[in-house]
Structure 1
Amino acid sequence: MSTHPDELEQRRLNDWSRRLTQALQILDLEVDPAMLVELGEKSGRTVAPNAGVVSAFMVGYAAGLTTTSGRKSAEEAVKKAADTAFQLAETGLEGPDQPGWKGSAQ
């Protein structure tokens, strides 16, 4: 039985995410590797090749600063931060700042 390379990568990213959450003792976090990969690719295209790494870190950091209670709130914090990053990645360094971005991820 052969596995498509994309499926194999997705499975390995899911496994890696689970392993990291266990090692970092953040067991209540459900990671969406596909969303992070998409953000990384989009940021990499519009800003610079390594912008994806920076984007993923900053989304996680912003979500981590948000006071949450339970998995649903944590997932909402990640989604809100990721949505802001995706919006910014649309135009990369060239786009104008949007009014009201202050506090948009937290």
Structure 2
Amino acid sequence: MTDSEWKVIVVEGKTDKRKVLAVVDEPVEVICTNGTIGIGKIDEWTDRLPGRELFILTDADESGEKLRKKLRREFPEAKHLYIDRSYREVAAAPDRHVAQVLLRANIAVKREFL
């Protein structure tokens, strides 16, 4: 397994994924749920995520919290990352804020966001 396969960040949408990839400075896999997650997807993840460091970064709104609860039940070992509620969405949060959230989880971020 390569270094890029160790850390996985789960986000809701493509704009969230772009935001995370814009600030992160280490190889990570970013997975989009597109706001929902079905049994088939959970089964797929259960097969491919063991032994990997899993992070959940959802929006600070009702749908994001609902998704977070479901993922917490399915993946209790996952680390949960939170953006400030005032931004509501990961994609709407400033790059510097997202970088600080990731940095607190020991995920390397690009120098310009420190």
Pair in the same fold by TM > 0.5: no
Q: Which has the higher strand share?
A: 2
- Greater Rg by CA: 1
Q: Scaled by the length of structure 1, what TM-score is found? A: 0.29
Q: Which has the higher helix share?
A: 1
